[in-house]
Structure 1
Amino acid sequence: MTASHLVAESVWKTIESTHSVNEEQLSILHFLFGKNFERATRIVDQRGVKKISSEPSGRFIFQVVGESRRKEEYFCFAEHYCACYSFFYDVINRAEQLCCKHQLAARLAGSLGACVEVKVSDEQLAVLLSEL
């Protein structure tokens, strides 16, 4: 893990435990993630993050709206994966980013309880995941 990753994780853990974010935390995350974080906050402000939770298992995945005119929606696991192009290009292939804006939006909205909550059955979630 890089120093940037460790700092980011420390900030995220604090936000998750308090369900709130302060100016200093926003400043640190902006420094670490730059424009991706700015874009992520816009997505969260526009209520563009759905948390799709399945019952009875409680498993979940995020669905995050993109910023283009087409308003595509990307499935992602906030800490590990996003189905968008930027995740594969900037995060995986070139290793220029720690994560994409959709992951940041999912993590921020999830930490703050700012997601649109959607409940589905375990079977419905399995179908969604099989389409990834």
Structure 2
Amino acid sequence: MRSFLPAVAEQLFKDIQKIYEEKSQIPDDLLIALKFVFGSCALQALDLVDKHSVTCLSSPSGRKVYQVTGGSGRLYTCFTSCHYCPCPAFAYAVLRRNDGLLCKHLLGVYLSQAMGLTQQESVSDKHITTVMAGGSAAS
């Protein structure tokens, strides 16, 4: 699944997935755990999920990337396979300062997956190559 995250984060996502499938909501104890493990970006990530801001692009070759529309409307292409987001918060807080595990965009991806709320979009191999290379292309 997500081999770059600590076991506590992995277990938290599994617990959220199981309970969300049963009750269609995240109980308070898991919300508190999210806040404890991920800090202030947890609420921001949940807001992204609520706004259906996470889309999984998949191509016929099986490649997948996630695009997250941030609060400002900017589109971020996130890679769960290597645990990366190009946003400034990820570069500063996660990579440079080692202050957190994830930015709100990556956390939004993982939460939307766990909750089954990721938007799905099939695109051509050419389109996904362009997106992965950092460009934009029409579907």
How does the TM-score come out when normalised to structure 2? 0.80
Q: For 1:22, give the aligned amino acid.
A: I
**5 Å matches for 1:45-64?**
45-55=50-60, 57-64=61-68
Q: Say whether the 8 Å CA contact 1:78–1:104 is kept in structure 2.
A: no
How far 1:6 moved relative to its partner?
Answer: 2.4
How far 1:19 moved relative to its partner?
Answer: 5.8
How far 1:13 moved relative to its partner?
Answer: 3.0
User: What corresponds to 1:114 in structure 2?
Assistant: 117
TM-superposition CA deviations, 1:13-54 (whole Å, max 9, x none): 333466636313222112111210000000110111111111
**Gaps in structure 2 of 5+ consecutive residues:** none
User: Greater shift after overlay, 7-16 or 59-68?
Assistant: 7-16
SS in 2 for 1:11: helix
User: What corresponds to 2:15 in structure 1?
Assistant: 14
CA RMSD, Structure 1 to Structure 2 (Å): 2.1
Q: For 2:35, give the aligned amino acid.
A: H
SS in 1 for 2:71: coil
Greater share of residues in strand = 1
Correspondence 1:95 to 2:59: no
How does the TM-score come out when normalised to structure 1? 0.84
Q: For 1:10, give the aligned amino acid.
A: Q
Q: 1:58 to 1:25 in 2, by over 3 A?
A: farther
User: What corresponds to 1:86 in structure 2?
Assistant: 89
Task: Tell me the distance in 1 between the aligned counterparts of 2:117 and 2:40.
Answer: 21
Task: Tell me the distance in 2 between the aligned counterparts of 1:42 and 1:18.
Answer: 19
How far 1:5 moved relative to its partner?
Answer: 2.9
Q: 1:77 to 1:16 in 2, by over 3 A?
A: farther
Task: Tell me the distance in 2 between the aligned counterparts of 1:101 and 1:6.
Answer: 19
User: Greater shift after overlay, 103-112 or 9-18?
Assistant: 9-18
- Structure 1 segments, 4+ long, off by >6 Å, are none
